[in-house]
Chain A
Amino acid sequence: MFPFNFEWIWDMSHVVFMGGLWYALTILGIGMTYCVVKSTIDAAKDDGGHH
C-alpha cells in the first residue's frame, strides 16, 4: 500500500494500481475538505449577517 512496505516494488503494476487508489482517495479527500471548509465559511457568514 505504501512504498515503505517491504513487498512494494516500483513497477508498472504498483504504479498503476496504487496510483488509481491514491488518485481516488485524493479526489474524495479534497472534495470533502472543500465542502466542509466552504460550509464552515458559509455558516460563519450567515452568523455574521444575522448579527
Chain B
Amino acid sequence: MNGYGLAEQYSGISNQRRGTKVMDSALIPNGVRRCSLDKFLVALAVVGAVLLWGVYAMLLCWFKGLNQTNMNDNYGFALWIWADLAVIALGGGAFFTGFLKYIIAKDELKNIINYAVLIGFICYSSALLILAIDIGQPLRGWFIFWHANVHSMLTEVAFCLSCYFMVLTIEYIPLILENRQIDRVPFFHHLSHNMHSTMAVFAATGAFLSFFHQGSLGGVAGVLFGRPFAYREGLFIWPWTFFLFTWSAAAYGPCFTLMVTRITEAISGKKLVKDNVVELLAKISGWMMTTYIIAKIIDTFYWANVTAPSKGFNLIDFYSNNGFYGIWILVLEIVLGGIVPAAILITDKGRKSPIARNTAFVLAVIGVSVNRWVMVLQVMAVPIMTFDTWALYFPSWQEVATTILPVAYGIMLIMISYRYLPIFPQEAELNPAD
C-alpha cells in the first residue's frame, strides 16, 4: 500500500454528505456533483444505439465496399472528406488553445485547455476513423505511409494527422490519470505529473504538426490545377488555401470548443468555465477570425478576377446553371459565417452578451464548415469540360450513419470523461457543494 490517496480514499464522502451519493461515487472527482448512475447509463445507451447504427453502416462499407455510398466517378470525394476537413478545422481549438496556453503563456486558458484537448482528441480520432472507411482498400491504408509520395498533400495530411493524434493522446492521458482511483497508483500519479511538466514540448510539437496538416488539408484542394474552382496560386509549393486553412482552423476551432462548452453547461445545468476565460478565448478567436476573413476576401477577389478568368471561367460560372450552388453559399460562408461572428467577438459588448456570443460561436462553426464543404463538394460539382454538366450528389444513409457515428462516439466520450475526470478545474468553485 502506498502513502498516496489515503485521504482521497475517503473523500468520496463529500458526495455522500451532500446526500447525492451515486453508486460509482468512488470514481467521480472530488467536490463535484453528478447525476445518478442509472440516469447516466440510460443516456449512454441512447447515444450508444446511434453509435451502433453507425457501426453497422461502417461494417457494410468495409465488407460490401464503397458501392454502399452514393459517391460516383464524378464525386470521388464527398460527405466523408468534408466531415474530415470539418472536424479537423473544428478540432483546431486544441492546438491553438494549447499554443496560447503553453507557448504564449495565456495562463487563464488552463481552465478550458482540458476540454479543448478532449474535443480535439475526439475530432482527430473521428477523422482517422472516417478516413479508414473512406478508402476503397482499407487493408492497404498503411501504403500511404510505406509508399509515401512526399509531393502529395494527402501524404502530408496522413503523416501530420497521425502524429498530431499521438500528441493529443499524450495530452489526454494525464487527464485520464487524474481520475481519483487511477491517481492512487504511484506510477500513474507521477506519470501524470511528469507529463504535465513536459507538456509544453508536446504542445509545441502539436502546434508545429497542426500548422502543417491543417495547411496541407487546404492544399488538398488548392493544388488541383485541373479544377479551376479549387486551384490557387501560392508561395513555393503551398497554395494560398494552405495558409487560409491553418489560419481558419486556429480562428474557428476555439469557437467550436466554446460552443461545445456552452452545450455541456446547458445539459449539465452548471456553469463550468468562468466568463473571463470564455471571453478571453472568444476575443482571440474573434481577432483571428477578423484577420482571416480579410485574407479570405482578398483571396476570393484575386481568384475571381485573376486566377479563374485565366482558366476561362467567370466567378458566376461557379455559382449558376445548377439547382443548388448559388452565390448564396459564398455569402453564407464569408458574411454570415465570417464577418458577422468576427464583428461580434471583437467587440467588448458582443463578447459580454451571452446571446450574441453564443450566436457568434454557432455562426462561426457554420462558416468554417461551409468553407470546408465548398472546398470539397463544390469542387467536385463544378463542370470543367465545356460539354460536362453539373454533378449533384446526395449521401446514402450509410454515409450519413458513418458520419453521425463519430458524433455519437464523441458525445459518449465526453459523457464518460466529464463524469469521471476533472475536466473543468473551475467546476467545484463555480458550483459549491453546499
Q: Give a binary string over A12-31; 1 marks a CB under 8 Å from any B CB, 0 the rest.
A: 01100110110011011001
Asked if B208 contacts A43 (CB within 8 A), the reply is no
Asked if B150 contacts A13 (CB within 8 A), the reply is yes
Asked if B201 contacts A31 (CB within 8 A), the reply is yes
Q: Shortest Cβ distance from A36 into chain B, in angstroms? A: 7
- In chain B, positions 182-208 with a C-beta closer than 8 Å to chain A are 186-191, 193-195, 198, 201-202, 205, 208
Given contacts A17-B156, A32-B170, A34-B198, 8 further A-B contacts (CB under 8 A): A17-B148, A17-B159, A20-B212, A21-B163, A38-B194, A42-B186, A46-B2, A46-B186
Q: Shortest Cβ distance from B60 into chain A, in angstroms? A: 32
Instruction: State the CA gap A35–B214 with chains docked (Å).
Output: 28
17 A–B contacts, CB within 8 A, in A order: A1-B148, A5-B147, A7-B147, A17-B150, A17-B156, A24-B209, A28-B202, A31-B202, A31-B205, A34-B194, A34-B198, A35-B191, A35-B198, A39-B187, A40-B187, A46-B190, A50-B3
Instruction: State the CA gap A21–B78 with chains docked (Å).
Output: 28
Q: Shortest Cβ distance from B291 into chain A, in angstroms? A: 26
Which residue of chain A is the closest to B197 with respect to CB atoms? Answer: A35
Chain B residues positioned under 8 Å from A28 (CB to CB):
163, 166-167, 170, 202, 205
- Interface range on chain A: under 10, 10 to 19, 20 to 34, or 35 or more? 20 to 34
Chain A residues positioned under 8 Å from B151 (CB to CB):
13
Q: Shortest Cβ distance from B155 into chain A, in angstroms? A: 8
Chain A residues positioned under 8 Å from B195 (CB to CB):
35
Q: Shortest Cβ distance from B145 into chain A, in angstroms? A: 5
Whether, in the assembled complex, B63 has its beta carbon less than 8 Å from a beta carbon of chain A, the answer is: no
Asked if B209 contacts A14 (CB within 8 A), the reply is no
Chain A residues positioned under 8 Å from B147 (CB to CB):
1, 5, 7
Chain B residues positioned under 8 Å from A36 (CB to CB):
191
Asked if B146 contacts A5 (CB within 8 A), the reply is yes
Instruction: State the CA gap A6–B193 with chains docked (Å).
Output: 44
- From DSSP, what is the main secondary structure of chain B's interface residues? helix
By Cβ-Cβ distance, the 5 closest A-B pairs, closest first, are A39-B190, A42-B190, A39-B191, A17-B150, A43-B186
Binding site for A on B (CB under 8 A): 2-4, 145-151, 155-156, 159, 163, 166-167, 170, 186-191, 193-195, 198, 201-202, 205, 208-209, 212
Chain B residues positioned under 8 Å from A34 (CB to CB):
194, 198
Which residue of chain B is the closest to A11 with respect to CB atoms? Answer: B150
Asked if A18 contacts B150 (CB within 8 A), the reply is yes
Given contacts A1-B145, A36-B191, contact A24 B156 (CB under 8 A): no
Chain A residues positioned under 8 Å from B170 (CB to CB):
28, 31-32
Instruction: State the CA gap A7–B188 with chains docked (Å).
Output: 43
Which residue of chain A is the closest to B1 with respect to CB atoms? Answer: A50
Chain A residues positioned under 8 Å from B150 (CB to CB):
13-14, 17-18
Instruction: State the CA gap A31–B173 with chains docked (Å).
Output: 14
Chain A residues positioned under 8 Å from B149 (CB to CB):
7
Chain A residues positioned under 8 Å from B145 (CB to CB):
1
Chain A residues positioned under 8 Å from B167 (CB to CB):
28
